[in-house]
Structure 1
Amino acid sequence: METVPAALARAAHEYGRNAALVDPHVRRWSFAELHDEVVTVARALIAAGIEPGDRVAVWAPNSAKWMLSALGILYAGATLVPVNTRYTAVEAADVIGRSGARGLIVTGPFLGTDRLAALRDIGAEPPPFVLPLPDWDAFRERSGRVPRATAEKRATEVRPDDVSDILYTSGTTGRSKGAMSAHRQSLAVARAWAEIGGLDLRDRYLIVNPFFHSFGLKAGILACLVSGATVIPQAVFDVSRALDLVQAERITVLPGPPTLYTGLLDHPARSGRDLRSLRLAVSGAATVPPVLVDRIRDELGFATVLTAYGLTEAVVATMCRPGDDTRTVAYTSGRAAAGFEVRIAGEDGEILLRGPNVMLGYLDDPAATAEAVDPDGWLHTGDVGTLDAAGNLTITDRLKDMYVSGGFNVYPAEVERALAALPGVAEAAVVGVPDERLGEVGKAYVVARPGHRLTADQVLGHCRERLAGFKVPRSVAFPPGLPHNASGKVLKYRLRENR
């Protein structure tokens, strides 16, 4: 049975006393104990009135309780609806309302915001069942009203094609859409990711990627569940705290956006930490320059560095493989994975994906679903790319990010790759800005590494040596940082708003 409840029961049987979940300074759960605790959560949810097929939203940062809540929701036969912790109350209320959630599990005050109070302040109608996580112990006590056999029956009645989760897109170019995945799909992409990365019960996985995102949920929690690896969640990425956890918990797996690795590399406390346990780094969502790949290997000690490509609607579409050289890892996102076919279509070179793990569709939005997935089953990603002879995919850009300068198409990702090779650059983004003569020209936003000072002349001169004239930005800004979404992608619409 390809369902999450069945996978959890199998993990409890196969991995038993091996560590499944670690909440440092609080508690550690073996796989057998994790199974028991999830059954308790499922019983409490059933006691609260959650029925099979109901949707339950979780609006909270990474934590043991998030993981227990999510698995408990699925064990009770309900559907998980993760909510972005960066959302305002208005945005969260929109997603919770449109999802038709019958329940909401919400954090207490976090990063200076009481999210439940914020929902009440805007007059949002709460679901019938609301659990503030500070009330966790009282919630667990409800489980005594429901026999374990009832929860186990619910779990066995879940089917592989039932909707396991509804993940909302980032909404950076419009209203977010709820991408639905079946249990079999969520597990298949998790298993593919885990197999390529070589995860097993010896691994200890520090999950910094948000659980509300597919990287944290499916390439994180579920990947560990199917491989026997241990989950160690981190609520907010703090470099010093991450370094402490790597040393104290003997972390072996640490994926994240490129900025995570530059943060670790440039932190003054790094040299005083024992990082020898690290073995697997996986990145994506942004340009990864070759020099950074080499530094991750040589200075942080990762034996394997991989890049991957996916999106909410497909999760793990391509991935590099252990043994790939630096150039392949830096300039491509690897080869097809998880049963996907990859095709480049049309004059624009849009990336199309087809396979058993393409989303079931967007919740309550057949028009958007039909626009995204054509009658032949190809998912139109909106990304532009190329395939080399070995099948490695290079992401050129987003269709919407391309701009036209003097009649020539300019793909910002190509310019950003050139900028990434300039010593002293931590991160860079390029957007098109209006120009009376050429229509649009490029503006580069460049973040310098600590201890480095860059000038516009240096940046533009570097580009002129490597790019055709129409691709060279006409201006440069040096902000202290760039705005990102939860998966590490730069929010270019914010740069355009402030241009």
Structure 2
Amino acid sequence: MLPNPLTTPAALHRAETQWPDGIAIVDNQWGEPVSLTWPQLADRVREFAAGLIKIGVAPGDRVALWAPNSFHWPIAALAVHYAGGVLVPLNTRYTTSEATDIVDRAGAKVVIVSGEFAGINRLDEVLATTIPTGRTIISVPLETSADGDGVLTWDALMGSATDELIGQARARAEAVAADDLSDILFTSGTTGVPKGVMAEHQQTVHGAHAWGSNGGLSSTDRYLMVNPFFHTFGYKAGILPCLLLGTTMYPLAVYSPTKAMETVAAEGITVFPGAPTIFQTILDDPDRTNHDLSSLRLIVTGATIVPVVLIERLQSDLGVETVVTAYGQTETSGFITTCRPNDDAVTVATTCGRAFDGMEVKLSEQGEVLTRGLMVMRGYLDNPEATAETIDSDGWLHTGDIGVLDENGNLKITDRLKDMYICGGFNVYPAEVEQVLSRLPGVTEVAVIGVPDERLGEVGKAFLTVQSDATIEPAAVIAYAREHLANFKAPRTVEILDAFPRNASGKILKREMS
């Protein structure tokens, strides 16, 4: 069954009509608890969209959103769509230099940014950069109110909505077409230059509907959202399936096993997706038996290797009826293959399942995983060459991953054509890290690989050669990386080499380093 409608504004209109008494979101993180029905959420979205129109956001304009998981995020994101705009989510772990690059390249006219949260005031950081130049900055109130000069507060924006502006917003929403851009999510390539993945509403909605339908989501489900909203796992496999299927959202900004278990027990959470490490911390928590987790019916995991014993323990120790794994890329809105609810533990743990409804998967002669279908991106922002290299003339997207297909069509990823590794569920592209470390004075050459890590799956290890007169300490290299890169990209260990192993053509042999 295919989704209808195929835009998020139309889906919001349907949600407020179909579930007039249904709870859309519950957020107890910021003092006064917030609980919104679908009609109430829709009203907030319309008010925010009206405010965006008032400050000059036109159809097709890009709006960046840099904030943690809270009730503000889906309101702002859906309002951008409602006003006809294009959403540009920013990773909350970005440094300001990384965020500035993304905002500039996306051509964002507006940046929505959080104030003080978890010891970091992103608003203050943004105001100290070039980001505000020629742009409107909107502050998201979280733990504290930290609004500076030239900043439009959340409440002020919402309060600027008039009946006339709300009417204009409704007209904008009705005009959004299935093939309009919904968002641009940035993902690094092997060249180390971040690429903007352009997704249309129909691609985004198809994927979200397929994911939610596979999990049997409904208006009786309660979804604990620990996956960050800026990521496809939190946005397109989180917010949007709930919008399409009437599921209640419970955002969690900072994960801890205790907070997650308390929320599951107190709120009767039924759906809990996350990286394998999240569930490992819960299973190993000595206080687990003191929390009633019996309401959980569906756990969805992936993004890295999943031990068979983890799947078995989730079913036996937690009593979760359905555990599934999935595989995707930003270029496919996060959706390529998935296990089905009736798959056995070995299939779930050792494969990525079969193609999502609306997608096809095959292997090239070299064993590369190719996919095409309803969720494949329009292309890379301002990069037709990279688009042509990734999507061939027959519409097959080349994933850069090597895999095998079993007799039932289940995909197993065995290697990567690219050097990308996954740290704590986040893709890390060594070339980007290498470019940053190459700027460190005294460094002559850099190679970065992923090495196994019990907690995060993989972490970075950097190998450097340095000038003969240079003295570089590994701790200084790591500190430099953390200053210029998001934490998950920074290598955890550094090794100084006299020379790199190379092949006959002079290329560094990463496979010989560990």
What TM-score, normalized by structure 2, do the two folds share?
Answer: 0.79
Question: Structure 1 residues 34-43 or 143-152, which shifts more?
Answer: 143-152
Give the C-alpha shift of residue 493 in structure 1.
7.7
The answer on 1:8 being equivalent to 2:15 is no
Contact 1:258 1:286 in 2 (8 A): yes
Give the C-alpha shift of residue 294 in structure 1.
0.4
Give the C-alpha shift of residue 98 in structure 1.
0.2
Contact 2:115 2:124 in 1 (8 A): no
Provide the residue aligned with 1:346 in structure 2: 365
Q: Find 1:230's aligned residue among 243, 248, 265.
A: 248
Matches within 5 A, 1:355-370: 355-370=373-388
1:7, 1:123 → 2: CA distance? Answer: 36
Provide the residue aligned with 1:110 in structure 2: 117
Q: Find 1:40's aligned residue among 36, 47, 62.
A: 47
Provide the residue aligned with 1:141 in structure 2: 159
Structure 2 counterpart of 1:284, one-letter code: G
2:326, 2:130 → 1: CA distance? Answer: 41
2:8, 2:131 → 1: CA distance? Answer: 32
Give the C-alpha shift of residue 113 in structure 1.
2.0
The answer on 1:245 being equivalent to 2:242 is no
Contact 2:83 2:169 in 1 (8 A): yes
1:243, 1:370 → 2: CA distance? Answer: 46
Give the C-alpha shift of residue 400 in structure 1.
3.0
Give the C-alpha shift of residue 109 in structure 1.
1.6
Matches within 5 A, 1:158-197: 158-170=176-188, 174-197=192-215
Q: Mark the runs of 5 or more structure 2 residues left unpaired by the alignment.
A: 142-152, 423-427, 431-446, 457-486, 496-513
Structure 2 counterpart of 1:359, one-letter code: M
Structure 2 counterpart of 1:15, one-letter code: W
Q: Find 1:327's aligned residue among 328, 333, 346.
A: 346
2:302, 2:494 → 1: CA distance? Answer: 25
1:254, 1:273 → 2: CA distance? Answer: 15
2:357, 2:416 → 1: CA distance? Answer: 23
Structure 2 counterpart of 1:54, one-letter code: D
Q: Mark the runs of 5 or more structure 1 residues left unpaired by the alignment.
A: 403-411, 414-428, 432-439, 450-489
Deviation per CA, 1:476-498: give whole Å up to 9, x if none: xxxxxxxxxxxxxx968825755
Deviation per CA, 1:184-243: give whole Å up to 9, x if none: 111110000011000000100011111111111111000001111001111121111111
Provide the residue aligned with 2:22 in structure 1: 18
Contact 1:103 1:127 in 2 (8 A): no
Deviation per CA, 1:248-306: give whole Å up to 9, x if none: 11110000110010011111221110101001011111111110100111112211000
SS at match of 1:400: coil
2:254, 2:490 → 1: CA distance? Answer: 24
Contact 1:58 1:82 in 2 (8 A): yes
Contact 1:2 1:184 in 2 (8 A): yes
SS at match of 1:192: helix
Kindly tell me: are residues 327 and 20 of structure 1, through their superposed partners in 2, closer, same or farther at Cα, counting changes over 3 Å?
Answer: same
Cα RMSD over matched residues? 2.6
Deviation per CA, 1:439-462: give whole Å up to 9, x if none: x9x99644389xxxxxxxxxxxxx
Structure 1 counterpart of 2:12, one-letter code: L
Contact 1:316 1:338 in 2 (8 A): no
Give the C-alpha shift of residue 170 in structure 1.
4.9
Provide the residue aligned with 1:97 in structure 2: 104
Provide the residue aligned with 1:85 in structure 2: 92
Contact 1:190 1:222 in 2 (8 A): yes
1:224, 1:127 → 2: CA distance? Answer: 35
Question: Structure 1 residues 95-104 or 370-379, which shifts more?
Answer: 370-379
Deviation per CA, 1:349-373: give whole Å up to 9, x if none: 1111111220000111111111111
Provide the residue aligned with 2:355 in structure 1: 336
Q: Find 1:221's aligned residue among 224, 239, 263.
A: 239
Tell me the percent identity: 48
SS at match of 2:51: helix
1:119, 1:147 → 2: CA distance? Answer: 29
2:354, 2:453 → 1: CA distance? Answer: 30
Deviation per CA, 1:36-71: give whole Å up to 9, x if none: 111111111111111111100000011100110001
1:170, 1:229 → 2: CA distance? Answer: 32
SS at match of 1:97: helix
Give the C-alpha shift of residue 27 in structure 1.
1.1
Give the C-alpha shift of residue 173 in structure 1.
6.3
Contact 1:338 1:357 in 2 (8 A): no
Matches within 5 A, 1:80-479: 80-134=87-141, 135-144=153-162, 146-170=164-188, 174-314=192-332, 315-347=334-366, 349-401=367-419, 445-447=452-454
Contact 1:372 1:381 in 2 (8 A): yes
Provide the residue aligned with 1:494 in structure 2: 491
Provide the residue aligned with 2:443 in structure 1: none
Give the C-alpha shift of residue 146 in structure 1.
3.9
1:274, 1:168 → 2: CA distance? Answer: 39
Kindly tell me: are residues 114 and 157 of structure 1, through their superposed partners in 2, closer, same or farther at Cα, counting changes over 3 Å?
Answer: same
2:308, 2:191 → 1: CA distance? Answer: 30
2:76, 2:129 → 1: CA distance? Answer: 26
Kindly tell me: are residues 367 and 493 of structure 1, through their superposed partners in 2, closer, same or farther at Cα, counting changes over 3 Å?
Answer: farther
Give the C-alpha shift of residue 28 in structure 1.
0.5
2:450, 2:140 → 1: CA distance? Answer: 44
1:106, 1:126 → 2: CA distance? Answer: 15
Structure 2 counterpart of 1:395, one-letter code: I
2:246, 2:45 → 1: CA distance? Answer: 16
1:205, 1:339 → 2: CA distance? Answer: 24
Kindly tell me: are residues 448 and 32 of structure 1, through their superposed partners in 2, closer, same or farther at Cα, counting changes over 3 Å?
Answer: closer
Structure 2 counterpart of 1:86, one-letter code: R
1:88, 1:443 → 2: CA distance? Answer: 21
Structure 2 counterpart of 1:118, one-letter code: E
Contact 2:49 2:166 in 1 (8 A): no
